[in-house]
């Protein structure tokens, strides 16, 4: 009898110690460790100019298993003059990622925006533009073959109403496929596949997280591409959100219908800007919890959807987020780490979602 109660006591004691240890261990984890446990890629957009800052480099390498250049793989960085390619800055991101065992997501091969002046104001004929586009996609994708595992081949090609956005590549003047809907997008994907047959090819857009006219158009395009054997492997949902969490309610449904078409899904540019003061601090501390709840919702939708294989934020420290500049100082504090590289409640939310998923 005494032995039995001793055993129960020992069992209870060890069970409690185990619980405490388990809780402590899971809290002590990094995003990277937690994501690795569930086979999820978790990344951030980065700029190589900051790698010389120890806090930046250390936090990034410790917390993430995927890297994406925020701007240095874009056209103006990689082909600043016609036929003159410069891969120096983008190579620095690839080298950092390889040195730290991270995968590299490429962003992007074609965009209507932020093209260098020689492209945007070159007044080329459709035939010339077609040649320029083919050469750019081919050279950049070939340079990064076996180094970039997934590309945003075409970025933001749809307008909010679901129509194909007017752009230099589509119809201003376009590459000879003006008025033919997604035909120029298809062409970009075909050239990308030819240049790097191993890379996963993604279409990437914003405000298309939930069910709406734009996400309907993306769905229709992917369905058509898949039916006709056009090489597309994934859809990137940028998810630049505010506290109103636009589209989040129907994110899971949108992901589910895309997943049924056989594509992967990546959350590619997640951030949740909140109102800030002149020091870049939140105006209302309560917003941090609201923000964390949105982080939790989106990350949960991703980990619950088997086709969602990557969760990435657009930057990781508020020190270098694009949001304050873009909103003229009205919003910020959008990322998992603050300006001093300290985790905020949003980071805890991600950690909990990833850790909980590992227990299932
Ligand atoms: O590097 C130059 C620097 O030399 C110069 O002194 C400075 C002065 O303005 O500009 C620097 O370049 C800036 C570049 O970011 C690098 O920081 C550009 O002006 C600025 O326009 C550029 O903005 C980027 C923008 O895309 C355009 O490329 C943002 O940082 C970047 O966050 C943003 O990312 C986009 C995604 O690609 C697509 N989805 C939306 C997302 C947010 O807009």
Helix (H, G, I), strand (E, B) or coil at 256: helix
Q: Is 233 in the pocket of ligand 1 (CB under 6 A)?
A: no
In angstroms, rounded to a whole number, what is the distance separating the alpha carbons of residues 199 and 108?
13
Q: Look at residue 24 in the predicted model and tell me its pLDDT.
A: 45
CA distance 111 to 105: 16
Active site residue 95: no
pLDDT at 280: 87
Which 3 state secondary structure label does DSSP give 235? strand
Give 333 Cα–ligand 1 centroid separation in angstroms.
18
| From 79, 209, 269, 347, active-site residue | 269
Would the CB of 165 count as within 6 Å of ligand 1?
no
Strands (E) located in the chain: 41-46, 66-69, 103-111, 148-155, 200-205, 234-237, 240-241, 264-272, 274-275, 308-313, 331-332
Q: Which atom of ligand 1 is nearest to the CA of 314?
A: 32
How much distance in Å is there from the Cα of 180 to the middle of ligand 1? 31
Residue 289 preceded by cis peptide, ω within 30: no
Q: Is 242 exposed, middle or buried (0-12, 13-18, 19+ CB in 10 A)?
A: middle
Ligand 1 touching residue 186 (CB < 6 A): no
**Helix (DSSP H) and strand (DSSP E) numbers for the chain:** 13, 11
* The ligand 1 atom nearest the CA atom of 71: 28
Ligand 1 center from residue 104 Cα (angstroms)? 19
* Tens-digit pLDDT string for the chain (360 aa): 444 455 544 444 444 444 444 444 445 499 999 999 999 999 999 999 999 999 999 999 999 999 999 999 999 999 999 999 999 999 999 999 999 999 999 999 999 999 999 999 999 999 999 999 999 999 999 999 999 999 999 999 999 999 999 999 999 999 999 999 999 999 999 999 999 999 999 999 999 999 999 999 999 999 999 999 999 999 999 999 999 999 999 999 999 999 999 999 999 999 999 999 998 899 999 999 999 999 999 999 999 999 999 999 999 999 999 999 999 999 999 999 999 999 999 999 999 999 999 998
Cα of 71 from ligand 1 centre, angstroms:
6
CA distance linking residue 285 with residue 288, whole number of Å: 6
Could you give the CA distance from residue 344 to residue 346 in angstroms, rounded to a whole number? 5
To the query of whether residue 269 is one of the catalytic residues in this protein, the response is yes
Looking at residue 15, its pLDDT comes to: 46
70, 207, 267, 320: residue to mutate for ligand 1 pocket, most atoms within 8 A of CB: 70
Residue 316 is predicted with a pLDDT of 99
Reading the block at residue 237, the tokens are: 């949902």
Q: Decide: 189 in ligand 1 pocket, CB within 6 A.
A: no
For residue 208, which of 194, 222, 226, 192 has the smallest C-alpha distance?
222
| Calpha distance 163→176 (Å, rounded) | 18
Determine the atom of ligand 1 nearest the C-alpha atom of 107: 37
* CA gap 286, 345 in Å, rounded: 11
pLDDT at position 360, please?
85
Residue-level pLDDT at 25 = 47
Question: Helix 286-304 crosses helix 251-260 at what angle (to 10 degrees)?
Answer: 20
- Among 156, 186, 347, 352, the active-site one is 156
86 lines ligand 1 (CB under 6 A): no
Alpha-helix residue ranges (DSSP H) falling in 29-65: 31-37, 54-63
């Amino acid at each position: 009898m005494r032995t039995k109660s001793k055993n129960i006591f020992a069992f209870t004691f060890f069970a409690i110690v185990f619980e405490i240890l388990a809780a402590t261990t899971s809290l002590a984890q990094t995003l990277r460790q937690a994501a690795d446990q569930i086979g999820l890629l978790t990344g951030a957009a980065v700029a190589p100019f900051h790698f010389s800052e120890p806090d930046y480099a250390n936090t990034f390498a410790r917390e993430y298993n995927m890297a994406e250049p925020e701007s240095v793989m874009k056209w103006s960085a990689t082909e600043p003059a016609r036929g003159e390619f410069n891969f120096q800055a983008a190579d620095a991101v690839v080298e950092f990622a390889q040195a730290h065992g991270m995968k590299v997501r490429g962003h992007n091969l074609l965009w209507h925006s932020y093209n260098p002046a020689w492209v945007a104001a070159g007044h080329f004929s459709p035939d010339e533009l077609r040649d320029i586009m083919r050469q750019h996609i081919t050279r950049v994708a070939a340079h990064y073959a076996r180094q970039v595992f997934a590309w945003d081949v075409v970025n933001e090609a749809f307008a909010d109403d679901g129509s194909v956005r007017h752009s230099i590549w589509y119809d201003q003047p376009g590459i000879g496929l003006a008025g033919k809907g997604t035909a120029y997008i298809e062409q970009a994907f075909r050239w990308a596949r030819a240049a790097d047959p191993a890379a996963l090819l993604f279409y990437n857009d914003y405000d298309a997280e939930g069910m709406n006219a734009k996400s309907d158009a993306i769905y229709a395009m992917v369905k058509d591409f898949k039916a006709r054997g056009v090489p597309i492997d994934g859809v990137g949902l940028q998810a630049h959100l505010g506290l109103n969490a636009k589209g989040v309610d129907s994110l899971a449904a949108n992901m589910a219908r895309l997943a049924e078409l056989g594509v992967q899904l990546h959350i590619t540019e997640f951030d949740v800007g909140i109102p800030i003061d002149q020091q870049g601090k939140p105006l209302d501390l309560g917003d941090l919890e609201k923000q964390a709840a949105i982080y939790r919702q989106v990350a949960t939708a991703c980990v619950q959807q088997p086709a969602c294989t990557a969760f990435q934020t657009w930057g990781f420290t508020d020190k270098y987020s694009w949001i304050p500049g873009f909103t003229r100082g009205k919003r910020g504090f959008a990322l998992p780490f603050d300006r001093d590289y300290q985790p905020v409640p949003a980071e805890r939310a991600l950690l909990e979602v990833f850790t909980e998923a590992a227990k299932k």
